Structure 1
Amino acid sequence: MSKAAEAFGEKVATHHYIAQRHLGFDRQPLLGPKNGNDQFDQVSKHDDGRVVVVEAKSSPGTELGRRTLSNGRQVSQGSREYFLDIMKAMSKRGEDEAVRALRDALRDGKLEYVVVKGEKNAGRYTGYQYRRFDITKRTLP
């Protein structure tokens, strides 16, 4: 069931959120592990330098993920520290082009970081919710 729910969240993000709000953006290939750790769910880039990063969830009740930083602190998806830590993991994997695009977009104010959640349904698609994250400032002291 969890694989189906995860696939649903990914499809909602791709075929509805990105397709409706980000025409002309190209989804970037990611080299992260198949279990989804140490990576964003989706990264899409536009020729003009805009980048959208999506954390895809299957339903409004699905919680944001967490990760532990090297200093032992826990951070949530949507925080600046989480975002930068994922970029470090991407850099270690050699995803240099994607990391450069993310850094440039963050620096230039052309980054959109969102969570997209499919609506609860009874066997048919009923829409989605999304929320933008503001990672312009640190969230940890």
Structure 2
Amino acid sequence: MTKAARDFGEQVAEHHFIVDNYPGFERQPLRGPANGNDQFDQVWEHEDGRVVVVEAKSSIGTELGHRTLPDGHKVSQGSLEYFMDIIAKMEARGEFKTARTLRTALQNGNLDYVVVKGERNTGRYTGYRYRRFDISRGPCREHHQYRPP
């Protein structure tokens, strides 16, 4: 994925999806590698303990990522196994506060885990789609959101 495409997906998530669906949430700093591996794209927290984790994609055609766990199993973004493996990577690099916040939100039912994708367009912003994951039972239905330019 090019840097421009990655940046577009991140901007759609931050400036449209979060604004539309999670007002009052603050973006949390992440210290993962610059290449984006072993981390979530965005983590947002509300003062009341609710947390949203965003996987940002540049377009609706961009597939979910996957990773290979230490035991050799491949798991997809949106699965509990993927989520917990990323938390383990965060803890290994010293992101204890954010990892603890994510574990607590998951345990308390205060966590939303979503993928946000920019809508297909021809050089003009046409909105986004998102899907909320239930990491105990798999992905939920996809939602469409149009946000005029």
**The TM-score by the shorter chain falls in which range?**
over 0.9
Structure 2-normalised TM-score?
0.90
Q: Once the 2 structures are TM-superposed, how far is the Cα of residue 137 of structure 1 from its aligned partner?
A: 4.9
Q: Within the alignment, does 1:68 sit opposite 2:79 as a pair? A: no
Q: What is the distance in 2 between the residues matched to 1:11 and 1:26? A: 15
Match of 2:37 in 1: 37
Q: What is the distance in 1 between the residues matched to 2:66 and 2:110? A: 25
Q: Which runs of 4+ in 1 moved over 2 A?
A: none
Match of 1:23 in 2: 23
Match of 1:56 in 2: 56
Match of 1:9 in 2: 9
Q: Within the alignment, does 1:91 sit opposite 2:83 as a pair? A: no
Deviations 1:110-129 (A, max 9, x none): 00000000001111110000
Q: Once the 2 structures are TM-superposed, how far is the Cα of residue 3 of structure 1 from its aligned partner?
A: 1.1
Deviations 1:65-106 (A, max 9, x none): 010000000000000000000000000111111011101100
Structure 1-normalised TM-score?
0.95
* Higher normalized strand content (fraction of residues): 2
Unaligned runs of 5+ in 2: 139-149
Match of 1:105 in 2: 105
Deviations 1:35-83 (A, max 9, x none): 0000000000000000000000000000000100000000000000000
Q: Once the 2 structures are TM-superposed, how far is the Cα of residue 136 of structure 1 from its aligned partner?
A: 2.4
Q: 1:131 is paired with a residue of what secondary structure?
A: strand
* Residue-pair matches, total: 138
Q: Within the alignment, does 1:132 sit opposite 2:120 as a pair? A: no
User: Which gives a bigger RCO, structure 1 or 2 (Cα 8 Å, sep 6+)?
Assistant: 1
1:74 aligned partner, one-letter code: K
